[in-house]
């Protein structure tokens, strides 16, 4: 049985057995005040989305990323957070990150977003456009609307006078779409914040389908692999003989076929061969994922390079898959050699009991808001995200942003009616978790 299916069954059962639903309990006076303030400031929040979407901030547009960071810093400073722009060393070739901090009491919250988009300066898709309750623009769904949800959830908590008692770090990275290397530098500050936190909340887009809101308690890893194969160049008339052997392309084909037959099969394990270059002469730039090749049909090829990705639900699954791939690569055809190297990028965020407890809390809030119970989203339905870097240290929930579609395409859009819903869920979740901790301390 798939992990997500099991989680959904357990979560639904737990919700049914919980002592009274939140919809029965209703909203406290403070929560009613939160909702009233959020409803009255929704257009203001949309205005901030428009302002940031209209600032181009593709990952490699460092000035644009910093400019979005300045806008968000203005907002964090206005609600009393101590903000800091973290520059990265020149060799990392990324703009940097924005952190906002405030100490308080109770559980420590880490709220995660990112400033960059996949749309660089030369892209035609550059401006915010609104059509009624839908808005379109570069990064509006992934994830400038989510950044605004963070800000307005904190503003709402400040409005009712409780933010002063809450410990929070807001982490807005500048290179989520293409992380700088090495990760030990580009994700150092985020990981340190994760070690500090008790609860991590990721604000990439929410998911709703079949009229059901879905909570994200697990995300798969995303890393890469590079297969390099060499063979003995010779006249093609001699291929397969004792002196010539199989050639690089047949060896690469064998390896990929055996990956498919022997490594594939575990739930949540996927690996993709994204590009292949093969022939007599091969040039390939992994950073740009571009290359060129030259070969002739009557020459046994001497070189192949295959570049791919791999996704897993846990580190153990990743380790098993890599070991199996290495074993396949080692079984070379005659007069060929092959090596495979792996590059870590995003680690997995496995489902945990702590994540599930947070989901149940959020589900109760969702019911209180009249939207029904939430279930755990299948991890295959989401890509990787920065929250995974802190998953080993803290309980977490992801997908707390607004609802949208078309991410990474010129049709990227967001449902503006989901903006206040996302803000309410986040604000009430932080409020309740803080109140519960305070009540437990006084018992």
pLDDT at 385 over 50: yes
pLDDT at 375 over 60: yes
| CATH 3.40.630.10 segments of the chain | 3-219+349-442
- Cα(77)–Cα(73) distance, integer angstroms: 6
- Quote the tokens at residue 219: 């995300």
- Cα(383)–Cα(400) distance, integer angstroms: 15
Residues in CB range of 312: below 8 A, 6 or more apart = 220, 221, 268, 269, 318, 321, 348
- Cα(183)–Cα(190) distance, integer angstroms: 10
**CA neighbours closer than 13 Å in the CB half-sphere of residue 261:** 7
In Å, what is the CA distance from 290 to each residue of 98, 282, 306?
32, 11, 11
DSSP string, 159-210: HTT-GGGEEEEEEEES-SSS--S-HHHHTHHHHHHHHH-SEEEE-SPBEEET
**CA neighbours closer than 13 Å in the CB half-sphere of residue 413:** 12
214 has which bridge partners? Answer: 207, 375
Q: Calculate ∠ Cα 391-348-168, nearest 5°.
A: 25
Is pTM, for the whole model, over 0.95? no
- CATH class entry, domain 3-219+349-442: alpha beta
Cα dihedral 198→344→56→202 (10° resolution)? -20
pLDDT at 22 over 70: no
Cα dihedral 173→188→426→418 (10° resolution)? 30
pLDDT at 275: 96
Using one digit for the tens of pLDDT, what is the confidence trace for 343-370?
999 999 999 999 999 999 999 999 999 9
Query: What share of the chain has pLDDT > 70, as a percent?
Result: 94
Alpha helices in 274-389 (DSSP H): 315-329, 353-368
300 has which bridge partners? Answer: 234
Closest CA to 94 of 183, 221, 202: 183
- Quote the tokens at residue 254: 């064998």
In Å, what is the CA distance from 339 to each residue of 151, 306, 326, 330?
47, 11, 8, 8
pLDDT at 288: 81
Using one digit for the tens of pLDDT, what is the confidence trace for 309-330?
999 999 999 999 999 999 999 9
pLDDT at 3 over 80: no
Tokens 């400038």: give the residue.
144
- Cα(431)–Cα(425) distance, integer angstroms: 10
Residues in CB range of 204: below 8 A, 6 or more apart = 113, 142, 143, 146, 385, 398, 399, 400, 401
| CATH T-level fold of 222-346 | Alpha-Beta Plaits (3.30.70)
- Quote the tokens at residue 301: 């090829």
Residues in CB range of 258: below 8 A, 6 or more apart = 328, 331
pLDDT at 73 over 70: yes
Q: Which pLDDT band, with edges at 50, 70 and 90, does 289 fall under?
A: confident
pLDDT at 25: 56
pLDDT at 443: 58
For 123-157, letters b (16+ CB in 10 Å) and e give: eebeebeeeeeebbbbbbbbbbbbbbbbbbbbbbb
Beta carbons of 3 and 268 less than 8 angstroms apart: yes
Q: In degrees rounded to 5, what are phi and psi of residue 226?
A: -130, 115
Query: What share of the chain has pLDDT > 90, as a percent?
Result: 88
Q: Give the three-state DSSP class for 218.
A: coil
Q: Give the three-state DSSP class for 40.
A: helix
pLDDT at 23: 39
Q: Which pLDDT band, with edges at 50, 70 and 90, does 428 fall under?
A: very high
């Amino acid at each position: 049985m798939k992990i997500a299916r099991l989680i959904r069954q357990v979560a639904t059962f737990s919700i049914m057995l919980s002592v009274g639903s939140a919809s029965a309990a209703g909203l406290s006076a403070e929560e009613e005040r939160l909702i009233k303030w959020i409803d009255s400031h929704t257009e203001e929040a949309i205005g901030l989305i428009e302002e940031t979407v209209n600032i181009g901030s593709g990952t490699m547009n460092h000035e644009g990323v910093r400019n979005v960071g300045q806008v968000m810093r203005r907002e964090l400073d206005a609600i009393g957070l101590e903000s800091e722009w973290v520059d990265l060393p020149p060799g990392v070739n990324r703009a940097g990150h924005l952190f906002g901090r405030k100490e308080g009491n109770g559980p420590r919250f880490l709220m995660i977003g990112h400033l960059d988009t996949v749309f660089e300066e030369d892209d035609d898709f550059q401006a915010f456009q609104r059509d009624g309750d839908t808005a379109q623009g570069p990064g509006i769904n992934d994830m400038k609307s989510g950044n605004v949800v963070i800000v307005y959830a904190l503003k709402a908590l400040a409005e009712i006078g409780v933010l002063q008692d809450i410990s929070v770090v807001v982490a807005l990275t500048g290179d989520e779409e293409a992380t700088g290397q090495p990760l030990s530098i580009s994700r150092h500050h985020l990981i340190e914040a994760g070690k500090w936190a008790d609860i991590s909340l990721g604000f990439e887009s929410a998911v709703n389908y079949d009229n059901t809101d879905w909570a994200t308690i697990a995300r798969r890893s995303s890393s890469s692999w590079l297969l390099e194969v060499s063979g003995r160049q010779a006249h093609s008339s001699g291929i397969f003989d004792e002196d010539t052997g199989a050639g690089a392309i047949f060896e690469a084909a064998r390896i990929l076929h055996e990956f498919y037959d022997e490594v594939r099969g575990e739930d949540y394990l996927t690996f993709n061969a994204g590009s292949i270059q093969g022939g007599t002469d091969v040039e390939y730039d992994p950073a740009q994922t571009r290359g060129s090749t030259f070969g002739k049909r009557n020459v046994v090829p001497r070189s192949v390079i295959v570049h791919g990705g791999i996704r897993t639900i846990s580190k153990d699954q990743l380790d098993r898959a890599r070991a199996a791939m290495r074993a396949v690569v080692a079984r070379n055809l005659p007069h060929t050699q092959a090596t495979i190297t792996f590059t870590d990028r995003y680690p997995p965020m496995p489902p945990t009991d702590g994540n599930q407890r947070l989901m149940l809390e959020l589900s109760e809030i969702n019911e209180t808001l009249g939207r029904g119970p939430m279930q755990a989203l299948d991890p295959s339905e989401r890509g990787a995200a920065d929250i995974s870097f802190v998953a080993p240290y803290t309980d977490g929930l992801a997908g707390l942003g607004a609802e949208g579609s078309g991410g990474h395409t010129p049709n990227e859009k967001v449902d503006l009616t989901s903006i206040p819903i996302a803000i309410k869920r986040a604000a009430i979740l932080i409020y309740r978790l803080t109140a519960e901790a305070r009540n437990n301390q006084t018992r």
